[in-house]
């Protein structure tokens, strides 16, 4: 069957400039400067929920005066019902930790396929609080747990119970009432495999069941804090102001467990990046903008400036980047006034204006440019999935393979793996928690259990072997004699078809910062205000500024990029 696009269809495609090169985009330092965009999975999910007029309904609320018990929220999507089941328990302060090794949490959750009956709830009440140690069925789509931000939660309860709103600065500084320490999907610990939702249009996109769970958890945290406050003093109680509810998202602590995903799913990552780069290329090709769009960009710039002022972290490296970003963005804002933007190719010129500046500033401008152009680019959000696995082409010749390496992996061939610094780290899976970890090759045991994230080293070894061949043969013949190179061969062949599928850096070098991989992936989730706690884990906030359950039909419900808390 022909895959050629007919002339009419080709004429209908939006104009676009050439995409940025993968060799520019797929570098760790740039990936570690990404910001959320309107193509991020939370944004596109909530747009689809709004299109269906979907709204969670609280169907059970069996919570006592102290906030302990269980609750169920049900939402209908694509004609099917899903339920968030929350179990809230008492947790001593001595057991409260963000680390994955924790064994108890304030609250645990399931996203259930359908509406749970009493038997389901009893079964899950005995297993969900145990998390990894529990036993689950395919009816459970997502497993999660969260801890309260104790100081803020207690403060909000106290204020609402006394008839007052919480302190604005405390809300701004924390940004969430609870933070999750894990949101597991796709078959983890016996829950349902992702195949269960592949025929569901709203949930078959990347991480949508997990992010639907997070958004519904956010609603539960609002209900819980109001419930405890109302019970404490029913006469004086006032509900939490909507502006505070919108600003309070769900915190998250994310570590190394997330990083290898960017390596193990090259086709999927290619599709994420290609959609983002295609969106940018379409916007940059706009010859003249409208008065409405220019005014919108000006308003977004003002919001961005305020957001940057409200983004402060303890990590000195990230705070210095934020400080520089504030200065750089302010200079861009001063230049790109309304008159400047009315001239030809305004968005291409704005992008060019950022090129000499920091990567943080360059990628912030990318996200800014995409934001007001939903009609042009939102459809690309549905091109970011993939059901394909990387396949090996046995009929390809070794000459072709060698040329492909020299073309796309030149950066890997230039590395000196005799330098101990280039092999300083190794990735492995911990036996205790079955989570990815990073070890020091030269001081710690376990390198024999290394995960295949050393793509550059493996491709360089493959190229060396190919260079010794006396003549070109098929890949099948080559691998019969050299089966240890199968992984590298598949990576090279995959990159030929999916050019954004490979991080073009040495991921076992001592200079590799996993935090860059974490920020990249989290930006696609829709996370903001990255708060690194080391080079290996970060705190973020999800759903901050997102519409509440009863606000999805508002005309401005999708306007929550880089949220700010406005003072009254």
pLDDT band at 10 (very low <50, low <70, confident <90, very high): very low
CA 220 – CA 108 distance, rounded (Å): 12
- Position 58 scores a pLDDT of 97
> Reduced to 3 states, what is the DSSP secondary structure of residue 538?
strand
pLDDT band at 454 (very low <50, low <70, confident <90, very high): very high
- Position 11 scores a pLDDT of 54
Residue 456 and residue 423 in contact, taking contact as beta carbons nearer than 8 Å:
no
Total domain count for the chain? 2
41 domain residue, yes or no: no
Residues counted in the chain: 568
- Position 92 scores a pLDDT of 79
- Position 7 scores a pLDDT of 41
Average pLDDT over residues 489-514: 96
Residue 191 and residue 143 in contact, taking contact as beta carbons nearer than 8 Å:
yes
Longest dimension (CA), the chain: 88
pLDDT, tens digit, 9 for 90 and up, residues 325-351: 999 999 999 999 999 999 999 999 999
Distances (CA, A) of 191 to 22, 157, 436: 36, 34, 20
Q: Which residues contact 90 (CB under 8 A, 6 or more apart)?
A: 66, 68
Distances (CA, A) of 562 to 25, 159, 311, 455, 543: 22, 27, 10, 35, 11
Average pLDDT over residues 276-289: 98
360 domain residue, yes or no: no
Domain end marker among 452, 469, 497 = 497
Task: Report how far Cα 49 is from the mean position of its chain's Cα atoms.
Answer: 19
Strand partners, 61: 71
Strands 176-184 and 249-254 turn out to be parallel
Domain end marker among 497, 521, 548 = 497
249 domain residue, yes or no: yes
pLDDT band at 2 (very low <50, low <70, confident <90, very high): very low
Burial of 265 by CB count in 10 Å (0-12 exposed, 13-18 middle, 19+ buried)?
A: middle
The pLDDT > 70 percentage for the chain reads 97
374 domain residue, yes or no: no
DSSP assignments along 359-384, one per residue = HHHHHHHHHHHHTT-HHHHGGGGGG-
- Position 113 scores a pLDDT of 96
Query: Looking at the predicted structure, is the pLDDT value of residue 178 above 60?
Result: yes
- Position 190 scores a pLDDT of 87
pLDDT, tens digit, 9 for 90 and up, residues 33-60: 999 999 999 999 999 999 999 999 999 9
pLDDT band at 1 (very low <50, low <70, confident <90, very high): very low
- Position 9 scores a pLDDT of 41
The pLDDT > 90 percentage for the chain reads 85
Domain end marker among 191, 225, 255 = 255
- Position 101 scores a pLDDT of 60
Query: Looking at the predicted structure, is the pLDDT value of residue 72 above 60?
Result: yes
334 domain residue, yes or no: no
377 domain residue, yes or no: no
CA 425 – CA 48 distance, rounded (Å): 42
CA 486 – CA 163 distance, rounded (Å): 66
Other beta carbons within 10 angstroms of residue 255's beta carbon come to 23
Quick one: tokens of 475? 């890949």
User: Which has the closest alpha carbon to 88: 166, 165, 177, 212?
Assistant: 177
526 domain residue, yes or no: no
User: Which run of H or of E encompasses 492?
Assistant: helix 486-497
CA 544 – CA 567 distance, rounded (Å): 16
pLDDT band at 528 (very low <50, low <70, confident <90, very high): confident
CA 352 – CA 46 distance, rounded (Å): 32
| First-to-final CA distance of the chain | 61
Tokens 């973020």 sit on residue? 540
132 domain residue, yes or no: yes
CA 24 – CA 22 distance, rounded (Å): 5
pLDDT band at 3 (very low <50, low <70, confident <90, very high): very low
CA 127 – CA 135 distance, rounded (Å): 6
- Position 356 scores a pLDDT of 97
Rounded (5°) CA angle 528-531-535: 125
Average pLDDT over residues 67-88: 97
Q: What average pLDDT does the chain have?
A: 93
Asked which of 31-45, 190-204, 361-375, 499-513 is least confident by mean pLDDT, the reply is: 190-204
Residue 41 and residue 525 in contact, taking contact as beta carbons nearer than 8 Å:
yes
Domain that residue 492 falls in? 398-497
């Amino acid at each position: 069957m022909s895959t050629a696009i007919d002339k009419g269809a080709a004429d209908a495609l939006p104009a676009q400039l050439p995409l940025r090169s993968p060799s520019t985009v797929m570098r760790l330092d740039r990936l570690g400067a990404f910001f959320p965009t309107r193509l991020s999975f939370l944004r596109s999910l909530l747009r689809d929920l709004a299109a269906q007029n979907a709204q969670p309904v609280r169907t059970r609320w069996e919570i006592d005066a102290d906030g302990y018990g269980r609750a169920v929220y049900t939402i209908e999507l694509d004609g099917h019902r899903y339920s968030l089941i929350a179990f809230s328990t008492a947790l001593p302060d001595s057991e409260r930790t963000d680390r994955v090794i924790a064994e108890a949490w304030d609250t645990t959750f399931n996203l259930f396929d359908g509406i749970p009956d009493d038997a389901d709830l009893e079964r899950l009440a005995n297993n969900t609080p145990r998390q990894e140690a529990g036993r689950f069925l395919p009816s459970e789509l997502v497993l999660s747990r969260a801890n309260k931000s104790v100081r803020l939660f207690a403060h909000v309860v106290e204020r609402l119970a006394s008839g007052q709103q919480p302190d604005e600065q405390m809300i701004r500084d924390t940004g969430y009432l609870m933070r999750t320490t894990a949101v597991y999907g796709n078959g983890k610990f016996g829950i349902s495999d992702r195949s269960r939702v592949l025929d569901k249009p709203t949930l078959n996109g990347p991480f949508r069941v997990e992010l639907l769970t997070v958004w519904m958890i956010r609603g539960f945290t609002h209900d819980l804090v109001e419930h405890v406050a109302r019970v404490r003093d029913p006469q004086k109680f006032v509900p939490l102001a909507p502006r505070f509810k919108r600003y309070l998202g769900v915190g998250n602590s994310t570590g190394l467990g997330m990083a290898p995903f960017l390596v193990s799913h090259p086709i999927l990552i290619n599709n994420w990046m290609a959609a983002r780069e295609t969106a940018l290329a379409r916007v940059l090709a706009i010859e003249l903008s409208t008065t409405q769009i220019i005014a919108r960009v000006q308003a977004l710039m003002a919001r961005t400036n305020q957001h940057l002022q409200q983004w402060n972290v303890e990590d000195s490296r990230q705070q210095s980047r934020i400080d520089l970003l504030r200065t750089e963005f302010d200079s861009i804002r001063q230049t790109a006034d309304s008159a400047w933007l009315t001239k030809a190719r305004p968005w291409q010129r704005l992008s060019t204006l950022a090129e000499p500046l920091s990567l943080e500033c360059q990628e912030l401008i990318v996200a800014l440019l995409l934001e007001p152009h939903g009609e042009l680019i939102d459809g690309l959000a549905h091109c970011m999935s993939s059901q394909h696995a990387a396949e090996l082409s046995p009929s390809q010749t070794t000459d072709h393979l060698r040329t492909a390496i020299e073309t796309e992996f030149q950066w890997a061939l230039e590395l000196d793996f005799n330098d101990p610094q280039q092999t300083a780290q190794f990735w492995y899976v911990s036996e205790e928690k079955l989570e990815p970890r990073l070890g020091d090759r030269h001081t710690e045991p376990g390198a024999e259990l290394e995960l295949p994230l050393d793509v550059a080293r493996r491709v360089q070894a493959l190229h060396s072997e190919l260079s010794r061949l006396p003549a070109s043969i098929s890949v099948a013949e080559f691998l019969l004699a050299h089966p240890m190179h199968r992984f590298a061969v598949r990576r090279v062949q995959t990159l030929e078809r999916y050019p954004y599928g490979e991080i073009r850096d040495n991921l076992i070098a001592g200079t590799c910062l996993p935090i860059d991989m974490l920020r990249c992936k989290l930006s696609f989730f829709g996370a903001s205000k990255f708060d690194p706690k080391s080079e290996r884990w970060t705190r973020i906030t999800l759903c901050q500024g997102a519409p509440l359950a009863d606000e999805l039909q508002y005309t401005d419900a999708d306007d929550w990029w880089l949220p700010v808390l406005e003072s009254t």
